Structure 1
Amino acid sequence: MPMFTTVEDYIASLPEPQRQVADRLLPLIEQVLPGAGAVWHGHPVWSLGDKPGKSPVCFVKAYPAHLTFGFWRGRQITDPSDRLQPGGRDMASIKLRTSDDVDADVFTGWLVQARDLETPANS
């Protein structure tokens, strides 16, 4: 994948199935983390710090057959759906193959928790 400078350029470059997933997911992210997205290390990351990647909250990364939506402190997120899969360190993520994989209520709940974990009182 080529280097991108904006989240919009990254999403626009995705093949149709992944772009449909992103088109459903990104408004949820922007609702909870407005204006916090930037391309960092080649893919979109939403952070609460003064620079991209400073106090990162979540990311979207494209793979050939899916998009990964993940959280830096995802293992600390309460997930009654059991859809988040633990990753390295404190991370957790989910693989999204179709836009139907995006559950607005569940994902918004994760995003609010992840954002709150990165606020100064909780960091």
Structure 2
Amino acid sequence: MDEKGRMIDAVDQYIWELPEDIQNITNALRKIILDSSPKLVEEYKWSMPNYSYNGLVCYLQAAKKHVNLGFHKGNELLEKDPNKGLQGTGKTMRHIRITKLEEIQPEAYIALINEAISLNEK
């Protein structure tokens, strides 16, 4: 199935209501996530887009000035994060904060997303 067929209306609506610059970042990240693996399912939970496969993998959380690409098991990804972009002090969750479209690093994010998927396969 192509990425369009996997996009749900609730997430379209979520993105539509964001400021334009944040919309652009969120759309770019959404595409990277869906392109990273055909296994991922897009869901709208906890008032934000979530992506799952055998459990929760990652999420997008938009704010006024940034978008967080978050990982539900981010604490287990720290060693796999070459750019040391993962932040957060929660028990398990970590996120990468993106404030500009130019900051997006597709290869690094795809590697982390696929690593997060493999954690759910163990």
Shift of 1:64: 1.7
What do you get for the CA RMSD once the two structures are aligned? Answer: 1.7
Query: What count of residue pairs does the alignment treat as equivalent?
Result: 112
Query: 1:16 and 2:23 equivalent?
Result: no
2:119 to 106, 117, 120: 117
Structure 1 moving runs of 4+ over 2 Å? 32-35
Percentage of pairs with the same residue: 24
Q: Which blocks of at least 5 consecutive residues in structure 2 are unaligned?
A: 1-8
TM score, norm. by length of structure 1: 0.83
Tell me the residue number matched to 1:59: 59
Going from structure 1 to structure 2, the CA distance change for 1:82 and 1:98 (only over 3 Å counts) comes to: same
Instruction: Choose which of 8, 25, 28 in structure 1 pairs with 2:29.
Output: 25
Structure 1 partner of 2:4 = none
Q: 1:102 matched to which residue of 2?
A: 104
Stretches of structure 1 that go unaligned for 5 or more consecutive residues are 50-54
- 1:86 alignment partner in structure 2: 88
Q: Counterparts of 1:18 and 1:25 in 2: how far apart (Å)?
A: 11
For residues 38-78 of structure 1, the C-alpha deviation after alignment (integer angstroms, 9 at most, x for no partner) is 110111001124xxxxx111000111211111001112111
Greater helix fraction, Structure 1 or Structure 2:
2
